[in-house]
Amino acid sequence: MIIIKQVNSPKDLKAFVTFPFNLYKDSTKWVPPIIKQEMETFDKKKNPIFNDAEATFFLAYKNNEIVGRVAAIINWLEVKQQMQKKMRFGWFDVIDDVEVTKALLEKVHEIGKANDLDYVEGPVGFSNLDKVGLMTEGYEHLGNMITWYNYPYYVDHFKELGYADEKLYSESRFPFANVKTEFFLKAQELIKKRYELKALGFTKTEEVMPYVDKMFDLFNQSYASLSSFVAITDIQKEYFKKKFISFVNPEYIKFVVDKNDELVAFAIVMPSFAKALQKTKGKLFPFGFTHILHAKKHSKDVVFYLIGIHPEYQNKGVTAVIFNEYYNVFTEKGILNCIRTPELEDNLAIHQIWKHFKPEVFKRRKTVRKDIR
């Protein structure tokens, strides 16, 4: 018999967060989150997303053991401002039992119907800076801290339960050796001169901070045209500053500004923390920090996390300026591989940015949807 219980206590929330550690204990490709950070993500007193969203967490039990979990999420900015009557679900993990999946998702449906929503979509997080998608290809490759990993049977469960594909994403990679200066060196000089632009580089995190609010504003502008985009609010900016910026090497943050020092483009690259996170086993203490700091300084793989260009400067070659900056840093650090986080397959503009580097798609993922009215 399957029993679904709502998470109502810190103890239950800890069980919710740590369930995947048991589910994936035999997987060499799953990358665990930091338990403390994950707990804080779901803390309504610490995460400002709860000013505009709500979440209900469920655990599935069978024979008194936890066999699944799901977060049922409503982003009210999406529902009320964008008129997207969508019920979200995320942080979905389950044993290979379709009845457990069905029981968990029925709880998501109930909340959606009670709030007069039209359909459910997932796996997604609260916002566009959260993890997204059900992995459909590339299970043999190591995950990373930016994405969810799942077993192949997840796909079968959703298909059996009548969920349709909603959004398709791909993840690609290319060796740094593919990056040739002929694609951007001369171009970036011409572009900087033509549009009176300059690149900003940093060596200390505190040097980055004065530009971070502008970066999030530009992020909102850059991605506003995407159907799945929900803008980041001012209060969320402060939260993401603390959550993300400290993880990033300052030299991996690049800004391009105009003659008035206004931001026109940005990019954030992160060292690959995947192997380090596996060693931490979800805990920063007592030795987890050591693994993280070592990866931050010595990882030879980098993950392109975010890139944004002001709409007025899109298709004007500004990425050449950014690539030139990264080329110099990556050469100095001996970087070997460049990895891209999930990108919508129909976002042709973003794919064009990388075409000269001959990227290889090595993972695919998707969100699924089902009408509930």
> Which amino acid is located at 212 in the chain?
V
Q: Which of 37-51, 228-242, 295-309 has the lowest mean pLDDT?
A: 228-242
What is the model's pLDDT at position 192? Answer: 96
The rounded mean pLDDT for the chain is: 93
pLDDT band at 227 (very low <50, low <70, confident <90, very high): low
- Return the closest-CA partner of residue 236 out of 16, 51, 29: 51
The proportion of the chain whose per-residue pLDDT surpasses 90, expressed as a percent, equals: 80
| pLDDT reported for residue 172 | 96
Domains of the chain: 2-171 (3.40.630.30), 175-362 (3.40.630.30)
pLDDT digits (tens, 9 = 90+) for 128-146: 889 999 999 999 999 999 9
Exposed e or buried b per residue across 298-307, where buried means at least 16 C-beta atoms within 10 angstroms of its C-beta: ebebbbbbbb
pLDDT at 243: 76
Which pLDDT belongs to residue 327?
96
Q: In the Cβ-directed half-sphere of 179, how many Cα atoms lie within 13 Å?
A: 25
Structural contact between residues 154 and 329, judged by C-beta atoms closer than 8 angstroms: no
Q: Average pLDDT for residues 67-96, to the nearest whole number? A: 96
Q: What string of H, E and C letters represents the secondary structure of 113-143?
A: HHCCCCEEEECECCCCCCCECEEEECCCCCC
With a CB cutoff of 8 Å and minimum separation 6, the contacts of 357 are: 174, 178, 179, 183, 338
Contact 362, 342 (CB under 8 A): no
> What pLDDT score was predicted for residue 264?
96
Report the alpha-carbon distance of residue 198 to residue 263 in Å, rounded: 10
Residue 364 contacts residue 136 (beta carbons within 8 Å):
yes
CA gap 322, 254 in Å, rounded? 7
How far is the C-alpha of 345 from the C-alpha of 136, rounded, in Å? 14
> What was the pLDDT predicted at 228?
66
The DSSP call for residue 314 is T
Predicted pLDDT at 132? 96
Give the tens place of pLDDT for each residue, 193-219. Answer: 999 999 999 999 999 988 888 999 999
Give dist(CA 185, CA 62) in Å, integer.
60
Q: Is the pLDDT of residue 225 over 80?
A: no
Closest CA relative to residue 207, chosen from 259, 270, 253: 253
- For range 54-73, the mean pLDDT: 97
Q: What single-letter amino acid sits at 300?
A: K
187: buried, middle or exposed (CB in 10 Å: 19+, 13-18, 0-12)?
Answer: middle
Going by pLDDT thresholds of 50, 70 and 90, the confidence category of residue 247 is: confident
Q: What is the pTM of this model?
A: 0.93
Identify the residue whose tokens are 């299970």. 139
pLDDT (average), residues 356-362 = 94
Nearest to 16 by CA among 41, 50, 49, 52: 41
Helices in 299-338 by DSSP H: which ranges? 318-333
| Range list of β-strands (E), 263-316 | 263-271, 301-309
Mind listing the pLDDT tens digit for each residue in 261-282?
999 999 999 999 999 999 999 9
Look at the block and give the residue holding tokens 């011409």.
Answer: 190
Q: Phi and psi at residue 35, in whole multiples of 5°?
A: -55, -45
Lowest mean pLDDT among 102-106, 154-158, 183-187, 368-372: 183-187
Q: b or e along 13-27 (b: 16 or more beta carbons within 10 Å of the residue's beta carbon)?
A: bebbbbbbeebbeee
Q: Identify the pLDDT of residue 140.
A: 98
* CA-closest candidate to residue 171, choices 30, 326, 305: 305
